[in-house]
């Protein structure tokens, strides 16, 4: 019985170590953005153009499946995170959305006002290329979140809205507002 317990502990430690190594392995790579995108948010009076993607010293890119109603709940979390973080840090949160339904669900939820108001513009990946361009960055089947510099060079991967340690590490690398 004790041998099984020890074996279980060793296997768990190996998994934890490999996950920590994965988060560090992607630093220095460039995040690749697809060319065919649309900036979307019906709650914003004037949508920014593609200059949104080059506006601050650091950026957090996160991928959200816009065909999944449960996944869309993350939008409010990211909106709250950016609202709180932008008071002290120079960072832009960029939510890249992929979709299996040509963005029908997300557009319906926003237009019917069944979705909470958010101020984040959403980057709709019209050809679903973002995930294939950046497949090596996926930390799980559906989680791609990275902190980049102004040139999209990856500084850190992780998810600051799901993991407090990731949030601390992201905060440490983001410059203060001046």
Per-residue pLDDT reduced to its tens digit, 82-107 = 999 988 888 989 999 999 999 999 99
Q: Which of 8-12, 30-34, 165-169 has the lowest mean pLDDT?
A: 8-12
pLDDT, position 16 = 43
Rounded Cα gap, residues 94 and 92, in angstroms: 6
- Can you say whether residue 169 is alpha, beta or left, with left for phi > 0 and alpha for psi between -120 and 50 degrees? alpha
Instruction: Give the tens place of pLDDT for each residue, 127-155.
Output: 999 988 887 776 655 578 999 998 889 99
Q: Domains of the chain by range and CATH? A: 2-173 (3.40.30.10)
The percentage of residues in the chain with a pLDDT greater than 90, rounded to a whole number, is 38
């Amino acid at each position: 019985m004790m041998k099984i317990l020890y074996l279980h502990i060793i296997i768990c430690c190996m998994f934890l170590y490999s996950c920590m190594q994965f988060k560090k392995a992607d630093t220095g790579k460039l995040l690749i953005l697809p060319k065919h995108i649309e900036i979307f948010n019906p709650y914003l009076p004037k949508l920014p153009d593609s200059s949104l993607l080059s506006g601050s010293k650091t950026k957090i890119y996160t991928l959200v499946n816009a065909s999944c109603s449960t996944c869309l709940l993350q939008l409010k979390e990211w909106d709250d995170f950016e609202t709180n973080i932008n008071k002290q840090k120079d960072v832009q949160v960029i939510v890249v959305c992929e979709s299996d339904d040509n963005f029908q669900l997300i557009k319906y939820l926003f237009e019917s006002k069944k979705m909470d108001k958010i101020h984040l513009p959403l980057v709709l990946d019209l050809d679903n290329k973002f995930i294939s361009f950046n497949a090596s960055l996926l930390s799980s089947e559906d989680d791609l979140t990275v902190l980049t510099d102004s040139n999209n060079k990856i500084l850190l991967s992780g998810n600051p809205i799901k993991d407090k340690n990731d949030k601390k590490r992201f905060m440490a690398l983001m410059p203060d507002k001046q």
